[in-house]
Amino acid sequence: MAWEKKIMEIEKLNKEIKKCSRCRLSETRTGALCGEGNIGAKLMLIAQAPGENEDREGKMFIGPSGGVLDELFKKANIDRKEIYMTNLIKCMLPKYRRPKQDEIEICSKYLDKEIALINPKILIPLGYYAIKYIFEKYAISLPSKSEFCEVYCKIFLATDKKIFPLQHPAAVLYNNSLKEKIIKNYRKLKVLLMDCKWYQMCPMKVFYEKGKLNKKWIELYCKGDWESCIRYQMEERGQKHPDWMLPDGSIDEKLHKLHKEVIG
């Protein structure tokens, strides 16, 4: 989509959001909150709903959780200008209650349009309801509530998107003991903004381009969380490793047999 047309379409959508009266939340809000940030962003953060400060000022993450988010971004060496931020629910929820299903069904249509227009490579839902909606949208199996924390800081592959769930910054306000773990998780955002520096000379690239390697390895590691790639870690330490070793450290004997044919 041409840049000028993209801007026009987003402005048109934002006007529609601001005047929306499709559900009960329009009766209690100060104003509906539109997304903001880099419309060409690779990363899109999706929170649950605006808080009191955001509702009053009409800006994303300016309340207490916004202060935490700014600190997390600083630790991760991320600038707000690098990303696009929005909410699943565009209006403040009275007394910070949970969103109702009909509110999600109505309001998520705006989020769907935002995703289509911004077209980020990576969606970063924050907290339970945003994660639940995005997982359902892309047909990803949602774990039970008792196992829900296991989805944080993991990459899930959708058709044309990567999903990278993170804790909402407000989690730190409620439980400060989580802070160091959440800082570590948010640092991965900088990793996701760039490909592995070894990718262009990596055998995985050659195997993939020759049709011998599943794309998931490239998306999860080479163009995903390359910091957790065993090949990357060994390369950084100057340790030898076979060309047919996969990013998770396992040995693929099929690639071993194809090595001379593919790599030469």
Q: If you ran DSSP here, which 8-state letter would residue 32 be given?
A: P
Single residue among 192, 211, 232 that ends a domain in this structure: 192
> CB atoms < 10 A from the CB of 59, how many?
15
| Residue 209 and residue 183 share a domain | no
| Residue 178 and residue 127 share a domain | yes
3-state secondary structure of 93: coil
Tens-digit pLDDT profile for residues 203-240 = 999 999 999 999 999 999 999 999 999 999 999 999 99
Single residue among 168, 192, 216 that ends a domain in this structure: 192
Single residue among 192, 211, 234 that ends a domain in this structure: 192
Distance CA 18, CA 246 (A): 49
In Å, what is the CA distance from 11 to each residue of 40, 65, 91, 118? Answer: 14, 26, 18, 12
| Residue 91 and residue 76 share a domain | yes
| Residue 117 and residue 212 share a domain | no
User: Is 90 exceeded by the pLDDT of residue 262?
Assistant: no
User: Is 80 exceeded by the pLDDT of residue 264?
Assistant: no
**Domain around 230:** 199-262
Tens-digit pLDDT profile for residues 171-209 = 999 999 999 999 999 999 999 999 999 999 999 999 999
| Residue 222 and residue 181 share a domain | no
Structural domain count of the chain:
2
User: Is 90 exceeded by the pLDDT of residue 17?
Assistant: yes
Per-residue exposure over 160-176, b if at least 16 CB sit within 10 Å of its own CB, e if not: ebbbbbbbbbbbbeeee
| Residue 124 and residue 10 share a domain | yes
pLDDT at 152: 96
| Residue 224 and residue 139 share a domain | no
Regarding predicted confidence, which is higher, 47 or 2?
Answer: 47
Distance CA 33, CA 14 (A): 9
Structure tokens at 171: 């989690």
